[in-house]
Amino acid sequence: MVEIAVMGHGVVGSGVVEVLTTHRESIARRAQEEIGIKYILDLRDFPDSPYADKFTKNFEDIVNDPEVRVVVEVMGGLRPAFEYVCRCMEAGKSVVTSNKELVATKGAELLKIARDHNVNFLFEASVGGGIPIIRPLHQCLAANDVIEIAGILNGTTNFILTKMIRESMSFEDALALAQKLGYAERNPAADVEGHDACRKICILASLAYGKHVYPEQVHTEGITDITLADVEYAENWGGVIKLIGQVKKQTSGKLQIIVCPMFVPAESQLSSVDDVFNGILVRGDATGDVVFYGKGAGKLPTASAVVADVIDCVKHFSSRKYLFWEDGSKDYVEDYMEDCVSMYVRASAADVNLSLLNAGTIFGGVTRLIRRDATADEFAFVTEKMPEKEISQKLKELTALGVQVQNTIRLGDF
């Protein structure tokens, strides 16, 4: 029997307890050990829980108990999660977490502590919920150079965009529906402004390229500026708008990494990832494109990923799993203004035809997009591929000629 502790009894934490209980037998078979929950840490009271006798409000009970060999951290946030996780590993316990903020901001540091104390620090559930992605990326693609990762990493924004695309719902209405259904928080900023997706692409990039990328290094745009007009233009272009986290390694060794809405071509496997689902495309030099698809969040999917990590810890007390990346550095990420992209531009002007002519001249040719209900002063086009700073400069020239740029969205190339 291996004793574990679960820190946090919210949605994921209670799911972990549930999965460990309902799948006790098959888990014991696979782990080759029974797994028992000795403590559940939460400041709240759960007097009616069948696990009432396991609850504690005192972290010291867990860290000082030598019987506890694996600790699950599902509290979320950095405080006190970071301190607790450090102390558990320093005390010789392996840690499993679903906390993407913790991994995205402190991953390199925590992996080093794990290595120094010969314990495991695993975080499959931090990206993609129940979708296996961390382990396949690390193990199965070991014999590949990862050329690119592009993913729909946030289910809430994907639900909102799907409603806008499929049912012509406005952003505001779709957000309200997502909140009503429990897919979005009352304060939806972390989702709709792209911060959640940013943390996840940071984790994937750090793992794929072996060096930490911090969220503040990643240019991040959300979906709050997307309108139904943009959705219609995307359709006319031949695709859909998705919030994408993307990373590529350049020949210089620097990373190109961004989180923003993109036009995704209908042929792309990511274009059919709808509702609260996530999809992650990994482009390897040997494997070609591999896509992982599933529910990116939710109690049981996330809990089952946590429990799979717990099983892995139990199977690897003797030989630590080699999962590591080094500290990041300030100049590791290329300024996104240097990235070469094609851009969709929606704009308005008194003279649309003249403005399109001007756009063509300034950009060296553009492709016009149309939509049925465009107002008389509205137009849209996509540019050729060029460094984003050039696009920015050229849009200023266009503005000087009486054009108001309403929105710009990058075109995906995957």
Burial of 274 (0-12, 13-18, 19+ CB in 10 A): middle
Residue 130 main-chain phi, psi, to 5 deg: -85, 0
Out of 135, 211, 219, 254, the residue judged to bind a copy of itself by CB under 8 A: 135
Out of 112, 211, 219, 295, the residue judged to bind a copy of itself by CB under 8 A: 295
Binding to a copy of itself (CB under 8 A) within 24-83 occurs at 26-27, 30-32
Distance of closest approach, residue 271 Cβ to a copy of itself, in angstroms: 8
CA distance 189 to 100: 16
Whose Cβ is closer to a copy of itself: residue 166's or residue 368's? 166
Binding to a copy of itself (CB under 8 A) within 298-327 occurs at 298, 300-301, 303-305, 307-308, 311-312, 315-316, 318-319, 322
Binding mask of the shown chain, residues 322 to 351, with x at each position contacting a copy of itself by CB under 8 A: x-----------------------------
Distance of closest approach, residue 192 Cβ to a copy of itself, in angstroms: 24
Taking CB atoms within 8 Å and a gap of at least 24, the contacts of 394-399 are: 394/362, 394/363, 395/345, 397/362, 398/347, 398/355, 398/358, 398/359, 398/362
CA distance 18 to 396: 56
Distance of closest approach, residue 387 Cβ to a copy of itself, in angstroms: 30
Whose Cβ is closer to a copy of itself: residue 65's or residue 148's? 148
Find the helix packing angle between 155-167 and 171-180, rounded to 10°: 130
If we measure between CA atoms, which residue out of 359, 363, 372 comes closest to residue 405? 359
Considering the rule CB under 8 A, would residue 294 count as an interface residue with a copy of itself?
yes
CA distance 219 to 233: 24
In the three-class reduction of DSSP (H, G, I as helix; E, B as strand; rest coil), residue 393 is classed as helix
Binding mask of the shown chain, residues 350 to 389, with x at each position contacting a copy of itself by CB under 8 A: ----------------------------------------
Binding mask of the shown chain, residues 232 to 271, with x at each position contacting a copy of itself by CB under 8 A: -------------------------------------x--
CA angle 378, 194, 385 (to 5 degrees): 50
Considering the rule CB under 8 A, would residue 291 count as an interface residue with a copy of itself?
yes
Which token pair is 145?
Answer: 């150079």
Distance of closest approach, residue 245 Cβ to a copy of itself, in angstroms: 18
Binding to a copy of itself (CB under 8 A) within 8-27 occurs at 19-20, 23, 26-27
188 preceded by a cis bond (ω within 30 of 0) = no
Which active-site residues does the annotation give?
Answer: 200
Distance of closest approach, residue 284 Cβ to a copy of itself, in angstroms: 7
If we measure between CA atoms, which residue out of 197, 326, 331, 182 comes closest to residue 261? 197
Whose Cβ is closer to a copy of itself: residue 18's or residue 173's? 18
Considering the rule CB under 8 A, would residue 145 count as an interface residue with a copy of itself?
yes
Distance of closest approach, residue 318 Cβ to a copy of itself, in angstroms: 5
Name 289's bridge partners.
283
Considering the rule CB under 8 A, would residue 284 count as an interface residue with a copy of itself?
yes
Q: Check residue 333 and report its DSSP letter.
A: B
Contact 203, 107 (CB under 8 A): yes
Sole window of 156-164, 229-237, 280-288, 391-399 interacting with a copy of itself (rule: CB under 8 A): 280-288
Other Cβ atoms less than 10 A from the Cβ of 73: the count is 26
- Residues at the interface with a copy of itself (CB under 8 A): 19-20, 23, 26-27, 30-32, 124, 130-132, 135-136, 139-145, 269, 272, 284-295, 298, 300-301, 303-305, 307-308, 311-312, 315-316, 318-319, 322
